[in-house]
Amino acid sequence: MSANLNPKLTAAQVSVGDELPPLTVPVTATTVVLGALASRDWRPMHHDRDFAVNRNGVRDIFINTPNNAAWFERYITDWTGPFGRLGRMKFRMNSSVFPGDEMLMSGSVKNVSTDAAGCCWLDLNVCVSVDGEVSTSCEARVAIPEDASDNPWARKGDQWRP
């Protein structure tokens, strides 16, 4: 396998208000369990329906926090390409995502800036919705190449200011 060493997205290609292409994901029990175990989260509400219903008072097992983060990362870097480097991510769960739900991931560019070290930062508003209701909202800060010669992954020390 040999990936393209040219950045997919550079600063000149992004403007405030740009929208990320939507992504829909049908959620099954396997989606939830796979995500929980991949993130080494053994808590029963993510694999044991009886526990989730009777102890947590919810309708089924549900997607766990680290897996939520992994879905956001995948969604964002699908758009930026591999040169996109996450600096910061903040999210809030309003409601859980259960088997049988269809996640709709969407997002937009809130701000584009270049810091004192010359790093181009995109502030993104991203969310997961189910049946038209936002279940998780996320504010992400991702660095992309300023131009084709820049590589955010090469930034270290004072050059990396997430």
Partner 1 sequence: MPETNADIPQQVLDLIGKHQYEEETEFEIEMGYVYNTLAAVQNANPLYWDKSFAEQVVGAQIAPPTMLSVWFRPHYWSPGFEGERTALQSHFDMKRIMELPEAIIGGNESIFGVPVKMGDKLRTYQVLTSVSEVKKTRVGTGRFWVIEVHCFNQHDEHVGTDIYNCFGYRRPAQ
Least CB distance to partner 1 at residue 13 (A): 19
Least CB distance to partner 1 at residue 18 (A): 20
Site mask for partner 1 (CB under 8 A), range 120-139, x = bound = --------------------
- Gap between the Cα atoms of 117 and 162, Å rounded: 11
Q: Does 59 bind partner 1 (CB under 8 A)?
A: no
What DSSP element (H or E) covers 92? strand 85-93
Least CB distance to partner 1 at residue 90 (A): 4
Choice from 9, 14, 56, 134 touching partner 1 (CB under 8 A): 56
Radius of gyration of the chain (CA): 18
Contacts of partner 1 in 78-107 (CB under 8 A): 78, 82-83, 85-93
Q: Which of 74, 44, 94 is nearest to 140 (CA)?
A: 74
Choice from 12, 19, 21, 34 touching partner 1 (CB under 8 A): 34
Q: Does 156 bind partner 1 (CB under 8 A)?
A: yes
- Gap between the Cα atoms of 28 and 18, Å rounded: 31
Q: Which of 120, 118, 114, 110 is nearest to 144 (CA)?
A: 120
Q: Does 42 bind partner 1 (CB under 8 A)?
A: yes
Choice from 6, 74, 102, 117 touching partner 1 (CB under 8 A): 74
Task: Please answer whether residues 20 and 126 qualify as being in contact, where contact means their C-beta atoms are separated by less than 8 angstroms.
Answer: yes
